[in-house]
């Protein structure tokens, strides 16, 4: 059976949720004056030169450079996750989150006919915590899974994060010399004995019966911003402010955006939309692969069903951050349009959801799991921590919705 499951959630960047996580850390944040970027920001200099040479760039191009530029891109060389970083995500809050996704995988595998082999692919695995928790569940259900040849495939663009993942998942049991033809840039054996591979591009992952997991991945993919003016849709671009050196600003493209014809629906009611062609390409790839080889995908992110407008924003040290200031020092993100993703996959696969995180975790048995953990951990501070993290994941005013 083929299924594409979408799961909508409210994410790491919900300000009050993060503030509650560790309000004391917020003191660390020292903002520049509004409008200032650091003089020595190499990425900013590179962007300014590029814009001066070829003209204003799209928001998608800006996002791509700022997040994944090989030299100075935000994701490439540092660890931004957790209370000492810029944001926190559900897998970092509690092991229970990943464990329940592990349960989801096993239940899908069973209801899908217990295939003889399974590729578990995670897109954008961050610190590897989600996969670590999933694999611990797989080990506990080894008696069920031992008839299945399971391999792990991580799609990660960041050299720094891939190192952290390798350490967490394999204890650095990594092979540098390959005895087989693979497009992986790294491979090894997990602590629980599964083969594990790293790729920088989803297209490099070998085909087969696959479960794809993408947690807070799609929100990091570049978006274009289209604005409806009195007569047509035009694209918002990023330009250099002519009055202030090294200051970026938004401008409106002068002609009709060619993207409008492809991506704007005839009945579109909004006058501003954000669209991610890269997300479209990736979701199509997932759907086709599931259609041809079987499997499922679980897409978890904060998002909407095609009704939101301007959601592009930056986060640094758990605070909102102006997206055009000090590029490369803050995360850039936009809400995922689940309506768009579903429209793109069309009838290639069955799509379910989105549903809230709270509902998904309830369905997967979070209350039972919490009871077991609380029964097994009588220490008061551990119990308090467990209850706090449950509240973080489930409370609709935090990550639950
Ligand atoms: C917001 S983090 C989420 C990390 C993790 N899934 C979590 O929820 O804690 C986004 C992840 O996607 C990766 N990433 C971003 N853009 C990517 C791209 N174009 N290709 C592959 N990985 C990418 C980042 O390096 C990072 O691991």
List domains and CATH numbers for the chain: 2-40+83-223+274-394 (3.40.50.150)
* Residue 214, strand partner residues: 123, 299
Which residue's alpha carbon is at the smallest distance from atom 27 of ligand 1? Answer: 126
Q: Determine the pLDDT at residue 26.
A: 25
* Residue 139, strand partner residues: none
CA of 40 to the centre of ligand 1 (A): 26
Which residue's alpha carbon is at the smallest distance from atom 13 of ligand 1? Answer: 124
Mutate to test the pocket of ligand 1, among 10, 217, 332 (most ligand atoms within 8 A of CB): 217
d(CA 272, CA 227): 5
Beta pairing, strands 350-352 & 2-9: parallel
> CA angle at residue 183 from 181 to 186, to 5 degrees?
100
CA of 124 to the centre of ligand 1 (A): 3
What does the block give as tokens for 381? 């501070």
CA of 20 to the centre of ligand 1 (A): 24
Mutate to test the pocket of ligand 1, among 14, 60, 63, 75 (most ligand atoms within 8 A of CB): 75
CA of 65 to the centre of ligand 1 (A): 15
Contact 166, 137 (CB under 8 A): no
Low-confidence ranges of the chain (pLDDT < 50): 1-34
Q: How many Cβ atoms are within 10 Å of 165's Cβ, its own excluded?
A: 24
Q: Determine the pLDDT at residue 207.
A: 96
Which residue's alpha carbon is at the smallest distance from atom 17 of ligand 1? Answer: 157
What is the CB < 6 Å shell around ligand 1?
67-68, 75, 81, 89, 91-92, 124-126, 155-158, 161, 215-217, 220
What does the block give as tokens for 85? 């970083």
CA 390 to chain centre: 21
CA of 239 to the centre of ligand 1 (A): 27
Q: Determine the pLDDT at residue 36.
A: 60
Q: Determine the pLDDT at residue 364.
A: 97
CA of 334 to the centre of ligand 1 (A): 13
Q: Determine the pLDDT at residue 177.
A: 59
Contact partners, residue 288, CB within 8 Å, separation at least 6: 348
Q: Determine the pLDDT at residue 176.
A: 64
CA of 29 to the centre of ligand 1 (A): 23
Mutate to test the pocket of ligand 1, among 77, 91, 123, 126 (most ligand atoms within 8 A of CB): 126
């Amino acid at each position: 059976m083929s299924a594409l499951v979408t799961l909508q959630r409210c994410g790491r960047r919900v300000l009050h949720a993060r503030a509650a996580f560790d309000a004391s850390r917020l003191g660390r944040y020292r903002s520049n004056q509004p409008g200032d970027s650091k003089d020595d920001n190499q990425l900013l200099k590179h962007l300014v030169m590029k814009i001066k040479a070829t003209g204003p760039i799209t928001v998608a191009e800006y996002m791509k450079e700022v997040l994944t530029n090989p030299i100075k891109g935000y994701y490439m060389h540092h660890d931004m996750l957790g209370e000492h970083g810029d944001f926190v995500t559900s897998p970092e809050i509690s092991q229970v989150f990943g464990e329940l996704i592990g349960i989801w995988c096993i239940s899908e595998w069973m209801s899908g006919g217990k295939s003889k082999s399974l590729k578990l692919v995670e897109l954008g695995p961050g610190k590897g915590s989600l996969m670590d928790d999933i694999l611990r569940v797989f080990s506990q259900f080894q008696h069920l899974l031992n008839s299945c040849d399971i391999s792990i495939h991580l799609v990660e663009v960041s050299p720094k994060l891939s190192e952290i993942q390798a350490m967490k998942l394999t204890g650095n049991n990594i092979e540098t010399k390959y005895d087989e033809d693979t497009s992986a840039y790294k491979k090894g054996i997990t602590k629980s004995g599964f083969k594990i591979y790293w790729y920088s591009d989803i297209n490099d992952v070998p085909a087969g019966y696959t479960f794809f997991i993408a947690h807070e991945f799609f929100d990091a993919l570049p978006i274009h911003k289209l604005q409806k003016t009195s007569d047509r849709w035009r694209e918002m671009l990023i330009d250099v402010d002519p009055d202030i050196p090294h200051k970026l600003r938004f401008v409106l493209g002068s002609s009709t955006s060619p993207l409008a014809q492809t991506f704007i629906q005839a009945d579109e009611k909004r006058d501003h939309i954000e669209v991610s062609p890269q997300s479209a390409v990736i979701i199509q790839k997932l759907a086709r692969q599931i259609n041809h080889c079987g499997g499922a995908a679980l897409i978890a992110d904060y998002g909407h069903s095609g009704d939101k407008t301007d959601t592009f924003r930056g986060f640094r040290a758990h605070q909102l951050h102006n997206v055009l200031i000090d590029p490369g020092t803050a995360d850039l993100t936009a809400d995922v349009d689940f309506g768009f993703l579903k429209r793109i996959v069309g009838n290639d696969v069955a799509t379910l959801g989105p549903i809230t995180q709270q509902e998904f975790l309830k369905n997967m048995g979070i209350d039972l799991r919490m009871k077991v953990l609380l029964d097994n951990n009588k220490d008061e501070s551990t119990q308090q921590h467990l209850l706090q993290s449950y509240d973080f994941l489930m409370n609709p005013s935090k990550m639950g919705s």
